[in-house]
Copies of this chain bind each other. A is one copy, B any other.
Amino acid sequence: MTSASMPPATPATANATDSPVLDTARRAREAATVLAPLPRTARDGALLAIADALVERTAEITAANAEDIAKARETGTAEAIVDRLTLTPERVAAIAADVRDVVALPDPVGEVVRGSTLPNGLELRQVRVPLGVVGIIYEARPNVTVDAAALCLKSGNAVLLRGSSSAYASNRALVAVLRDAVASAGLPADAVQLVPGLSRDSVTELMTARGLVDVLIPRGGASLIRTVVEGSTVPVIETGTGNCHVYVDERADVDMAVDILVNAKAQRPSVCNAAETVLVHEGVADVFLPRALEALAAAGVTVHGDAAWQKAGADVVAATEEDWESEYLSYDIAAAVVPDLDAAVAHIRRYSSGHTEAIVTRDTAAARRFVSLVDSTAVMVNASTRFTDGSQFGFGAEIGISTQKLHARGPMGLPELTSTKYVVTGDGHVRG
């Protein structure tokens, strides 16, 4: 590892300020200017160099990772979290393979989104261009460091990575490898930078670096996301807390509804597209509730139910207002019986985080009404909420799932990491 490739400990001399974070952002801005006009081959070349370097320098990466793991164990971190933090040679190889997958994705930059020849002969094209400098603030596993950098580079953006302190040594080692690889491919190393410092202040500086950072994408818990959304003057893309609902309609296929509910809740409860509440039409409750309770119990799920659910099952815990609001991310589900579809929609409007809601029904009119009235990122008809995912949607990879309405909504792939510009070509055209 060359020391030049490490995130700088002191401000750069050019445009130096008192703030290492702003200096980092300034260097990212300059790198973005170099990246933007580069053709696909140059960006893909850097990504291939990254994939190779990750494999070649695995020992360095796992050694740094061992420091994080030791620290995590010292502070009594749960083994499940230690496991998520752990980088083995196999995991590093898988991360490198993911980078190669990104290389194979279509290039979003330069895509003509719309175009026409205007009545006066002007040729109008709206062309995708990189956003510029993308800041990612995340609490997740160290693989996010590489995934996010790869998606940003592929889309022609410079990236500022602000990971969690628990993965700091791993992230430092990974970013060093990425920077060397980027530089070896002839691109500016500053296209990939770790934000220096681990204090809250470094996040605050990033949030207010308007003009230097084009967008911030927070990925993590609800509190992190709220902090970034409320405190930023830089534009933010809010990502996904998921209080997702499954609505079982009067005319649902009951077998299908049970399968979808159990899959949506229990196939992987810790993720944002897992279901947190089930709403059941009263016309199907007598048949559905016993079946659902049996299947949920078999999957190890605790039901927090309303009066009807409590009556149907001895193990049902009484639901409180808090249950309707909860993103459990665990083997728990809130459950209610509703008089009709519109009542289900009203419940969802009130409590949903706008991520994903599903209806199970054989009634086309009910499906159509539910799709039309529910204002969430994704609406599933006869399918599990678990499908809201960039990879499942065929986008190849995702940088997060946006639950806001501006710019991007739902899984964000490469096109969502771009803006556009209009290119207008004339032959001396002036306005009359």
Contacts and interface: CB of A to CB of B under 8 A. Distances in A.
Interface string A250-268: 0001011001100110011
25 contacts: A122-B383, A122-B387, A131-B405, A132-B405, A215-B406, A235-B405, A256-B428, A259-B430, A268-B431, A367-B425, A378-B422, A379-B422, A379-B424, A382-B425, A382-B429, A383-B424, A383-B428, A383-B429, A386-B430, A387-B431, A388-B422, A392-B431, A406-B419, A407-B407, A409-B421
Interface of A: 33, 36-37, 116, 118-119, 122, 124, 126, 129, 131-132, 210, 214-215, 229-230, 233, 235, 237, 253, 255-256, 259-260, 263-264, 267-268, 349, 367, 371-373, 375-384, 386-388, 392-394, 404-407, 409-410, 419-431
Contacts of A229: 210, 233
A239 to B, nearest CB: 14
A345 to B, nearest CB: 10
A406 B235 CA distance: 8
A33 B349 contact: yes
A119 B381 CA distance: 17
A428 B394 contact: no
A421 B384 CA distance: 16
Contacts of A122: 383, 387
Contacts of A376: 421
A424 B381 contact: yes
Copies in the complex: 2
A382 B377 CA distance: 42
Nearest to A257: B428
Interface of A is mostly: mixed
B377 A422 contact: yes
Contact of A426 (B132, B383, B429): B383
Nearest to A259: B430
B260 A425 contact: no
Nearest to A428: B256
A116 B421 CA distance: 27
A412 B215 CA distance: 20
Given A122-B383, A383-B424, 20 more contacts: A119-B394, A124-B393, A129-B375, A210-B229, A214-B405, A235-B405, A256-B427, A263-B431, A267-B430, A267-B431, A371-B423, A376-B421, A377-B422, A378-B421, A378-B422, A380-B426, A383-B425, A405-B419, A406-B407, A409-B420
A427 to B, nearest CB: 6
User: 4 tightest CB-CB pairs across the interface, nearest first?
Assistant: A383-B426, A263-B430, A405-B419, A256-B428
A163 B200 CA distance: 39
Given A407-B406, A410-B422, A430 B349 contact: no
B409 A406 contact: no
B426 A392 contact: no
B233 A233 contact: no
A357 to B, nearest CB: 10
A426 B382 CA distance: 5
Contact of A372 (B37, B268, B372, B380): B37
Contacts of A118: 392-394
Contacts of A377: 421-422
Nearest to A131: B405
A424 B425 CA distance: 40
Contacts of A253: 428
Contact of A36 (B375, B394, B431): B375
A131 B405 CA distance: 7
A145 to B, nearest CB: 23
Contacts of A237: 406
Nearest to A124: B393
A380 B123 CA distance: 10
Given A118-B392, A382-B427, A425-B383, A410 B405 contact: no
A268 B372 CA distance: 45
A323 to B, nearest CB: 21
A36 B116 CA distance: 30
A379 B37 CA distance: 14
